[in-house]
Amino acid sequence: MTIDSKLPNVGTTIFTVMSALAAEHKAINLGQGFPDFPMSEELVSLVNRAMQNGFNQYAPMPGLISVRESLAEKVFSLYNHSVNPDTEITITPGGTYAIYTALTTILRAGDEAIVFEPAYDSYIPGIEANGAKAVTIPLTYPNYSVDWESVKQHINPKTKLIIINTPHNPTGAVLGKEDMQQLEEIVSGTNIFVISDEVYEHIIFDGLVHESVLKYPALFKRSFVCYSFGKTYHCTGWKLGYCIAPAALMKEFRKIHQYNCFSCFTPAQVALADYIKNKEAYLSIPAFYQAKRDYFIRLMQQTKFEMLNSYGSYFICASYKNISDENEMDFAVRITKEYGIATIPVSSFYKNGTDNKVVRFCFGKKEETLEAAVEKLMKI
């Protein structure tokens, strides 16, 4: 028996490949994005209490109303935007799932979806699995800014969707108010939807403000906005997130969701319903991660790498043009094997493998992990 693959050009994700290589060679893993420090003991205790109190059966399909109400309060507090917790928020098993479900809700065979590259690696396979075509537009290197004139030139009657991601994975770039206004102008009067990947909404630096789609009513009416509890609360293994969209769009989203996942881990939802109300737990995140970014940059000054800017997320890119002429994949594999440091080649975030001699590091680690990593990187 054979299957006519929906994704004939897709192999194993780069994160799986590099993490496996790191494990094989006992390398320090600054590739895959996950913290190596503990999450909140209070939140762990709340989940434990929920399990002991019997909250171990199915949650409602959209998620517990208590956690959705807490999220609605948070959204209003942050973005001055009122969302209906009953009809406009759905709890999902992770942000990537929310993105894929939104893609499946929107796209039909023959549609086109605009993707900015380098792009989180789930976007294009999600588009293609739904029979649509990904239209890629490169971000302007080395600042990874959006060329909105190029976007206008790529719009055509088949354009059904634009995906944005801010703060951006893998580059740490951040969209500003002018970017959102440009996007709003481009989609105005069209039938183009927006998926806004905002899983790093709280990891933003240098006094910048996160420009959520939720702050722009004309954009929100055509948008699915995707978030991650794992990124916010240092618990990526929970695979828990949520999507916010206007009621009419969310109704269609839930039609897909109910037959794919149906519902998510109940004890964590019970715990989060209370924990979300602790504003300091997420308002303190920018300073927490900025300190890690700044420390890593200071350490990296001892190496031959040239650090690029990172204004958000817990990733930062670095050029190795002063070290080697190898392509990014070969360089990343070699330093994992020979020097014990795993990174992610940024070329893996481009459909055509664009190679600028840049790798991505995750600095969301303990200080001692970053110190040990840079000791190895100094030898390259």
Residue-wise pLDDT for 320-364, tens only, equals 999 999 999 999 999 999 999 999 999 999 999 999 999 999 999
**pTM reported for the whole predicted model:** 0.97
Which of these three, 257, 277, 297, is where a domain ends?
Answer: 277
Domain containing 268 equals 57-277
DSSP string, 151-193: HHHH--TTEEEEEEESS-TTT-----HHHHHHHHHHHTTS--E
Which of these three, 228, 261, 277, is where a domain ends?
Answer: 277
Residue 247 lies in a domain: yes
Between CA 216 and CA 239 the distance in angstroms is: 28
**Interval 293-328: pLDDT, tens:** 999 999 999 999 999 999 999 999 999 999 999 999
Q: Which of 171, 180, 134, 169 is nearest to 154 (CA)?
A: 134
Residue 1 lies in a domain: no
Between CA 201 and CA 285 the distance in angstroms is: 10
Residue 6 lies in a domain: no
Tokens read off for 359? 């790798």
Residue 45 lies in a domain: no
Residue whose tokens read 């770039």: 173
Same domain as 264, residue 193: yes
Tally of domains in the chain: 2
Average pLDDT, stretch 3-7? 93
Residue 9 lies in a domain: no
Residue 52 lies in a domain: no
Which of these three, 218, 243, 277, is where a domain ends?
Answer: 277
Check if the beta carbon of residue 119 is closer than 8 Å to that of residue 173: no
Check if the beta carbon of residue 118 is closer than 8 Å to that of residue 355: no
Same domain as 171, residue 79: yes
Q: Give whole-number Cα distances, 185 to 145, 152, 294, in Å.
A: 18, 10, 36
Pair type for strands 306-307 and 344-345: unpaired
**Interval 64-101: pLDDT, tens:** 999 999 999 999 999 999 999 999 999 999 999 999 99
Q: What is the pLDDT of residue 133?
A: 98
Strand, coil or helix: 52: helix
Check if the beta carbon of residue 66 is closer than 8 Å to that of residue 273: yes
Check if the beta carbon of residue 70 is closer than 8 Å to that of residue 277: yes
Same domain as 91, residue 29: no
Q: What is the pLDDT of residue 139?
A: 98
Q: What is the pLDDT of residue 73?
A: 98
CATH of residue 258: 3.40.640.10
Cβ neighbours for 185, distance < 8 A, ≥ 6 positions apart: none
Strand, coil or helix: 125: helix
Residue 49 lies in a domain: no
Same domain as 327, residue 238: no
Same domain as 162, residue 125: yes
How many beta carbons lie within 10 A of that of residue 246, not counting itself? 16
Q: Calculate the CA 94 to chain-centre distance.
A: 10
Between CA 76 and CA 87 the distance in angstroms is: 16
Same domain as 209, residue 118: yes
* Angle subtended by helix axes 266-275 and 41-52, to nearest 10: 130
Same domain as 358, residue 271: no
DSSP string, 68-90: HHHHHHHHHHHH-----TTTSEE
Residue 344 lies in a domain: yes
Same domain as 75, residue 197: yes
Same domain as 221, residue 139: yes
Same domain as 237, residue 162: yes
Residue whose tokens read 């499946």: 104
Tokens read off for 261? 């996942």
Same domain as 67, residue 22: no
Confidence of residue 11 (pLDDT cuts 50, 70, 90): confident
Residue whose tokens read 């054979």: 2
Strand, coil or helix: 59: coil
Q: Say which amino acid occupies 363.
A: F
CATH of residue 293: 3.90.1150.10
Same domain as 267, residue 326: no
